[in-house]
Structure 1
Amino acid sequence: GLFAAVATGGIAVALALLVACGGQTDSDSSGWDDDAADDDTADDDHDYVEYVPLTDPEGRTIIARGANYMGMEFGWFHHEPEDFQRMASWGFNVVRLPIAWSYLEPEPGVWDESYLVDVVEPVVGYAHDAGLMVILDMHQWKWSPCCGGNGAPVWTCADIDGGDIEWIIQADLFWDHPEYLDHLVATWEMVAEFFSGDDRIWAYDLFNEPNAGFSSLPPMCENQLFRPLFVRLIEAIRKHHPEPYVIVEPSIVNSAGLPFVMDPLPYDRIIYSPHLYPGNIADGRTGYWFGKGMLESHIQMRVNEANERGMPLLIGETGIGSAADGAEAYVRDTTELFDEYLVSFTWWCYWRDDDGMGLLNRAGEEKDLFIKYLSRPYPKATAGVLRSFSFDVDKKVFTVEFENKPDLSPEVEIFIPADRHYPNGFVVECSDEEGTYSYSFDEDTQTLTVVCNPDEPGHRITVAPRSG
């Protein structure tokens, strides 16, 4: 969801402070390992990121790249199989699907499974058939339909007229009712039981942009309110469906630059998924006024927060209005930094509009200023320890480096959008001795597979345009 509203109280104080200080984080808040420079595997000019990777069942490191596809949190926006096939053609391998509690429990204690059967499950099938991993996200935007948004059922709302900030007041009052938390836990348990054993679900996102109203400053809510709820939700989900990742998010104000202070959770396969909207760009109109330095400081903070807790990182949302000043530069800089920091993400969002955050225009055509950067080479799966990757969008040169990992034969699968970036073909080079490595390219999936020499401890692969 988008955090862009006129607010008062704690949320307004937090945003005012961020604007006043430019959203900058401490200059030492880096995502780099300071000791990596002493490692003989490290590049002379670059310290490698030490991070907890996302992995697949084979133990390979995966990079998840994709988009949010909004609609089901509002009931239904007529998703079609072709939408997911198009995302896959861009190289996306994951889709985040917002759903809403209000449709699952429209009346207290009355759960409507038809929403899962008739709406959610078919869309999960479309995504899976296109080769996309699925994140089911329990969404809220402006808290509830009673506030003109989506999320919590209307029956949880107080009978008030809060005007433009009613969504903040309703969220604030919600936490005074522990029985509402019981209902949310039961709702998630129903969802997990419905999809029990279904390997199409890659992850469950517990609570989009958790909101505690005027108590949303992280030291006021993340350990006091959100963490106890998350523990209950994880237990309820994994009782029925233990295999998928579970995604936890920080407080809603985190996306503007505040830190994540929640204590570590005592579970494995938990993803940390903050949202990235520096400088209030979530409103879809504000431009890229703050520059790459501030953008990088936000990303560094999130990398650090994940590393400190031993959690993989996935940026659950970021985006900018296509008509906003500097929109193309924002996409270019963000994707470069995501590569540099080995970041997985789901962009906001796959939708159709002319001037907003949609990746398509109203005619259903892709917006080039987004897709030419989002559809880029990246290592989808690495049988080894991924160290770095980058793509020079001007020279069309992609490079990936990885090291051997015990019990895995060194191999990497790279998405290569050949028609988009290499119309005259491409050449592949590897640091392994010639004749000791091999590669193949699947045109249907646009996947380059490079099998490396297990006798070499590390490997550097370069893809560049074919001359002439």
Structure 2
Amino acid sequence: MAPSDGPPALPAPRRVASASASTATGPSGDVGVNRGARDTMAGTAPARVRRITSGTARRRRIRQISIGPRVRMLLGSMLVAFAAWLFLPVPALTATVPPPSRAAAQPGLPWLSTSGDRIVDSTGRAVLLRGFNVDALLEPTMHPSPLEATDAALMQQSGFDVVRLPIAWSQLEPERGYFDSTYLDSITRAVALLNSHGLYVVLDMHSLGWSPAYGGSGAPAWATVQGVPDPVWGPMPSLGRLLSPAINVSTAYFWLSSDLQAQYFDAWTFVVQRFRHDSGVAGYDVINEPHSFPLPPFRFDKDQLWPFYAHAVEVLGAADPNHLFFLDNDMTGDLPTSVVPLHAPNIVYAPHVYTGSLIPPNFTGDPHALQTHVNELVSEGASVPAPVWFGEFSINIGDSYSAQWIDAVLGDFDAHHAGWAWWQWRETSGYGVRSKTGKVNTSLLRMLARPYLAAAPEGAVARYLARSATLQIRVPAAHDAAMIDVAWPVTVLGPPRSSSTCGATVTWDAGVARMAVYLPGGSGCAVTVTR
């Protein structure tokens, strides 16, 4: 296959004519029986032939009866072997990345790293990233909404500190080997706009329905397998649409080949080289919502997904060792991901949660299934091992139990000290805080905008009491003098006031919606922030 040809087209199936038998044979292939059958037709079958025929029929019936248990045993053995193969463990993986080489950080946006199960800043404080997805740079097939300075300002004033910014391979590399600098410039402008309002950016190489060639997002048209039927059984991204043979053959080809993956990493390298020295970029989300279908679940994770992640971290890390690497879970429904431990610096497990919203059964007020799945995802993160950051979650605000779902899932995230990004900031179909025309859904914003510890020293914990709009902070005695950054949603709660048990010094910056709490060292402290 020539390098410029993309994935191969599937050959047309050959028609094979079946030959008709020139002579008839009996079911047993026994010559004596066939001769006896001819004699019978002539009315001259001897008794001996009749006895042979009846004896053969009895033996055939006995064989048929005895085959049943053997077949069942064979099928059972095959199923056991298949299940054993699915769940067979594989060795842990390692990805080597050069040491960081970082330029001076942007004011208010220090470089981020990982330490144990936390994302930390350059002083070692735990950083909590909360914010939104913004689809402004996706393909026209995704009907993206604009990104304006008003959006960034409103997010900042509502206490948020991160945007997950999906970008498109199809836009970066519209022709194989040609990378579009104009599109990269548009990414750079969006990052600069968000950074100017104190918002980190996670760049996400997006994929949905494999490619805009199928009405989705992701791969360029040249990276699709040609000649495969593409029936449209529903709108994108419905289950019927995602069952298209064309979509799934192209997806499987990517996971089973090295040529497209190499080209994918070339596109990523084109991006990370631009942002290598920019502390306002938190990191890179390697691929959006990978899934096993049509490959076998569980084995896909072990044989394709996690080796792909290990290679991605090495390739991207060679070009940019300064940023975080965000790794999504396998989004085959709510099936668990078979995590292969990956030992590498600065990796973050970034699963998505749609339990009870997009993934049935629908949420009806009982938070048990949602909580169970969040706990499962956090456990998967510990298996990596890596901090957990929920890169997508949402529910249609028009659903009957949407408020309860949001409250339950945010409570689950808080229980694990995990950050998150709501899908998405601006759209009109029931998931957006701001519509495409600019109208703000204040009800949804109030549900999502809660005070939290944007950055805090080790051991500091916070609890938010929604009814009184109060954030209770506790810091253990064994700490040096330190500073806590409290994100406070002034747009929905107004300016804060505070008190402490340790004489902490507090300053409030209305321009960035942050309260800085300066803690004296050597003593425990309780801080209360309320409206």
| TM exceeding 0.5 | yes
Q: Against the structure 1 CA distance between its residues 126 and 287, is the aligned structure 2 distance closer, same or farther, given a 3 Å change threshold?
A: farther
Q: CA deviation at 1:236?
A: 1.9
Deviation at 1:99, TM superposition (A): 0.5
> Given the superposition, is the C-alpha separation of residues 57 and 258 from structure 1 closer, same or farther in structure 2, using an over 3 Å criterion?
same
Query: 304-313 vs 167-176, which deviates more?
Result: 167-176
Structure 1 residues 131 and 277: CA distance shift in structure 2, 3 A:
same
Q: Secondary structure at the match of 1:357?
A: coil
Q: CA deviation at 1:144?
A: 0.7
Q: CA contact under 8 A between 2:481 and 2:522: conserved in structure 1?
A: no
Offset of residue 290 of structure 1: 5.6
Alignment of 1:300 with 2:375, yes or no, is yes
Map of 1:215-364 to 2, 5 A cutoff? 215=295, 217=297, 219-253=298-332, 256-281=333-358, 288-289=363-364, 291-353=366-428, 355-364=429-438
Partner of 1:80: 148
Give the Cα–Cα distance (whole angstroms) in 1 for the partners of residues 271 and 452 of structure 2.
33
Q: Please list the CA deviations of residues 212-249 of structure 1 after superposition, one character each: whole Å capped at 9, or x if unmatched.
A: 431262x1212211122222221221222211111011
Q: Deviations over 1:109-147 (max 9, x none)?
A: 222222102x21111111111110010000001111122
Give the match for residue 476 of structure 2.
403
Q: Which residue of structure 2 lines up, in the alignment, with residue 139 of structure 1?
A: 206
Give the distance between the partners of 1:72 and 1:183, measured in 2 at CA.
Answer: 21
Whole-Å separation in 1 of the counterparts to 2:470 and 2:116: 25
Match 1:128 to one of 156, 173, 195: 195
Q: 2:293 aligns with which of 213, 231, 248?
A: 213
What residue number does 1:62 align with? 127
**1-side partners of 2:420 and 2:211: how far apart?**
26
Q: 1:189 to 1:298 in 2, by over 3 A?
A: same
Report the AA paired with residue 224 of structure 1. D
Contact residue 339 and residue 384 of structure 2 kept, 8 A: no
One-letter code aligned to 1:135: V
- Give 2:525's aligned residue: 459
Give, in whole Å, the separation in 2 of the partners of 1:463 and 1:195: 36
Q: Which residue of 2 aligns with 1:29?
A: none
**Distance in structure 1 (CA, Å) of the matches to 2:154 and 2:491:** 14
* TM-score when normalising by structure 1: 0.80
Distance in 2, Cα, partners of 1:62 & 1:409: 18
TM-score in terms of structure 2 length: 0.71
In structure 2, relative to structure 1, the CA distance for the partners of 1:240 and 1:289 (3 Å cut) is: same
- Distance in structure 2 (CA, Å) of the matches to 1:405 and 1:214: 53
The more displaced of 103-112 and 371-380 is 103-112
Structure 2: stretches of 5+ with no match in the other structure:
1-114, 232-240
Partner Cα distance (1:426, 1:106) in 2:
49
Distance across 2 between alignment mates of 1:223 and 1:115:
34
Larger Rg belongs to: 2
For residues 259-299 of structure 1, give each alpha carbon's deviation from its aligned partner in whole angstroms, at most 9, with x where no partner exists. Answer: 2222122211100000001025269xx85326222221112
2:509 pairs with 427, 439, 442, which one?
442
Contact 2:197 2:512 in 1 (8 A): no
Tell me how far apart the structure 2 counterparts of residues 403 and 95 of structure 1 sit (CA, whole Å).
Answer: 31
Q: Is residue 272 of structure 2 the alignment partner of residue 197 of structure 1?
A: no
Instruction: Rate the CA distance shift 1:109–1:452 in 2: closer, same or farther, 3 A.
Output: same
Separation of aligned partners in 2, 1:109 and 1:51: 39
CA distance in structure 1 between the partners assigned to 2:445 and 2:487 by the alignment: 15
C-alpha distance in structure 1 between counterparts of 2:369 and 2:116, whole Å:
22
The residue that corresponds to 1:385 in the other structure is 459
Residue 61 of structure 2 corresponds to none
User: Cα offset for 1:362?
Assistant: 4.7
**1:214, 1:374 → 2: CA distance?**
36
**1:39-58 residue CA offsets vs partner (Å, 9 max, x unmatched):** xxxxxxxxxxx971110112
- CA distance 1:443–1:307, shift in 2 (3 Å): same
SS in 2 for 1:281: coil
2:229 paired with 1:156: no
Secondary structure of 1:463's match? strand
1:454 deviates by: 1.0
**Aligned pairs, number:** 401
For residues 78 and 346 of structure 1, the distance between their equivalents in structure 2, rounded to whole angstroms, comes to: 18
Identity over aligned pairs, percent: 24
Displacement of 1:77: 4.3
The one-letter amino acid of 2:505's match is S
**Structure 1, unaligned runs of 5 or more:** 1-49
- Superposed CA RMSD: 2.2
